[in-house]
Amino acid sequence: MNISPKKISDHQLEDQEISINHQKLIDATIETIAKRGLGDTTIAQVAKKAMVSQGYANFRFKSKENLLLSSLKFLSDEYKNSWQRIFEDNNLDPVGRVIKIIENDFSGKIANRNKIAVWVSFYSEVKFRPSYLSICQKQDEIYSSQMEKLIKEVNILNNQSFLTPREISETYLSMVDGLWQRILFDPKMYSHVFCKDLIKKYFRNIYADEKRFV
Amino acid sequence: MNISPKKISDHQLEDQEISINHQKLIDATIETIAKRGLGDTTIAQVAKKAMVSQGYANFRFKSKENLLLSSLKFLSDEYKNSWQRIFEDNNLDPVGRVIKIIENDFSGKIANRNKIAVWVSFYSEVKFRPSYLSICQKQDEIYSSQMEKLIKEVNILNNQSFLTPREISETYLSMVDGLWQRILFDPKMYSHVFCKDLIKKYFRNIYADEKRFV
DNA sequence: ACTCATATTGAATGATTATTCAATACAAAA
DNA sequence: TTTTGTATTGAATAATCATTCAATATGAGT
């Protein structure tokens, strides 16, 4: 019992991240964008959802732009953590890893309509706000290169030579982006199962002997 | 000589489409969205680019929303016309048709960064504006079904049986959407040639005997 | 030249919204 | 309890914009 409460030093604001309100506001931002779109997201609405005053939201994040940026960063990190873990999992062989990656990319936590709506909102502004671009781009580069390396291992094990690892990995990445977008349009038709199966079929076609790509 | 000028009847406004200003405003809208993003597109800017007064732009289209909708419709029709023509071209055999479709989807007229920026802007709002969705969705359904039918013909000619026409066509469509999005991020890396080659390689892998998928 | 209908203007209006900031609540230290 | 520093409020401000509309230009028909 007696959980030592907070014991927050006088440096409590040294690192913004430790505040509860900080995260409440970010969550509220994501929810609001998901429900109303980036264009119709106002500080007032976000603050209301986070149950703090409007003035506070602005004070805390300095500006709306900064709040949006922090929310994108959060989403981006969340995604990154999810695949990072898979690439680093030593209990998996290459093909097992690929399968986990596919499952992660179409898991409920990642590929749900709300989060996709937020992603696409930010994507759509990438051309005009370099700060959005740099957040998205850096992580995508890492994901790309990790994926390519992984496919290289799979290729060797299955002596596949017609398609290069780069080609396979780029095809995979573009399919994922495309399918996510399609989930936004028609989530019934593009169910998680449908998407995963489509991608597994792609791999099955390349690696004919590998039975795990159902 | 003496080209009979206009001979516009008193019904000149019967059909909105015949006005020059109408199209000037739509073009200006697309350019403005491409340059500044949907969120920062104002009627004042569009009117200025179209060289009409702000009041006129609003008067002509009834509302900003309606102007945006008309612009999306225009873009959507332009795209539809481009592939419609290919599906209806009787001089082409199935594989020739597929190749033309790929080339069209990554032609300078369709897959340039400005137009993609506009598409994605609208996509990102699809969840919140049913009117956007219905414009995009209807055409996508036709494109999908035409594509599937086309692949069915290719499949038969090449006795391919592992992947269904539906699967191949869905894979193609999602790749296109994904690659378009990636062009937005990094148009240098995702050049038209790169995208087309990637997709052709996909088909080449499926239809191993078909040499035309370079 | 005059009339009349339509096209076009641009300034005014009102709504929305990010941002600011003086006032207040709160909680720890004295 | 009082002090003091920080957290939080909410009302005021100022900027931005879509929309309206009375005024004007235009040009065809008489």
Task: Over range A112-124, report the average pLDDT.
Answer: 93
Percentage of chain B lying above the pLDDT 90 cut = 86
Which residue among A37, A125, A178 places its CB closest to the CB of B175? Answer: A178
Domain ranges of chain B: 16-62, 68-206
Answer CATH for A16-62 from 1.10.238.10, 3.40.50.720, 3.60.15.10, 1.10.10.60: 1.10.10.60
Which of B117, B27, B18 has the alpha carbon at shortest distance from B67?
A: B27
Q: Which residue reads 């193609």 in tokens?
A: B172
The gap between A70 CA and C28 C1' (Å) is: 31
Answer CATH for B68-206 from 3.40.190.10, 1.10.357.10, 3.30.43.10, 2.60.40.10: 1.10.357.10
Chain A CB within 8 Å of residue B138 CB:
no
At residue B111 the predicted structure's pLDDT band, cuts being 50, 70 and 90, is very high
Chain A CB within 8 Å of residue B173 CB:
yes
Tens digit of pLDDT for each residue in B32-63? Answer: 999 999 999 999 999 999 999 999 999 999 99
Which of A40, A113, A122, A124 has the most B C-beta neighbours within 10 Å, making it the best mutation to test the interface with B? Answer: A124
Chain A CB within 8 Å of residue B124 CB:
yes
Half-sphere exposure for A202 (CA within 13 Å, toward CB): 30
Tokens (6 digits) for B25 = 């405003």
Q: Does residue B33 or residue A7 have the better pLDDT?
A: B33
At residue B11 the predicted structure's pLDDT band, cuts being 50, 70 and 90, is very low
Task: Over range A34-56, report the average pLDDT.
Answer: 96
For the domain spanning A64-206, the CATH number is 1.10.357.10
Q: In whole angstroms, give the CA distance from residue B211 to residue B96.
A: 11
Which of A191, A180, A213, A214 has the alpha carbon at shortest distance from A98?
A: A213
Query: Cβ contacts (< 8 Å) between A201 and chain B: which residues?
Result: 163, 167
At residue B20 the predicted structure's pLDDT band, cuts being 50, 70 and 90, is confident
Looking at CA atoms only, how far is residue B62 from chain A in angstroms? 21
Give the lowest-confidence range in A15-19, A144-148, B79-83, B84-88: A15-19
Q: Give me the residues near strand C, CB below 7 A.
A: A 40-44, 54-55, 58-59, 63-65; B 10, 12-13, 19, 21, 52-56, 59-60
Q: Does residue B68 or residue A4 have the better pLDDT?
A: B68
Half-sphere exposure for A66 (CA within 13 Å, toward CB): 9
Chain A CB within 8 Å of residue B179 CB:
yes
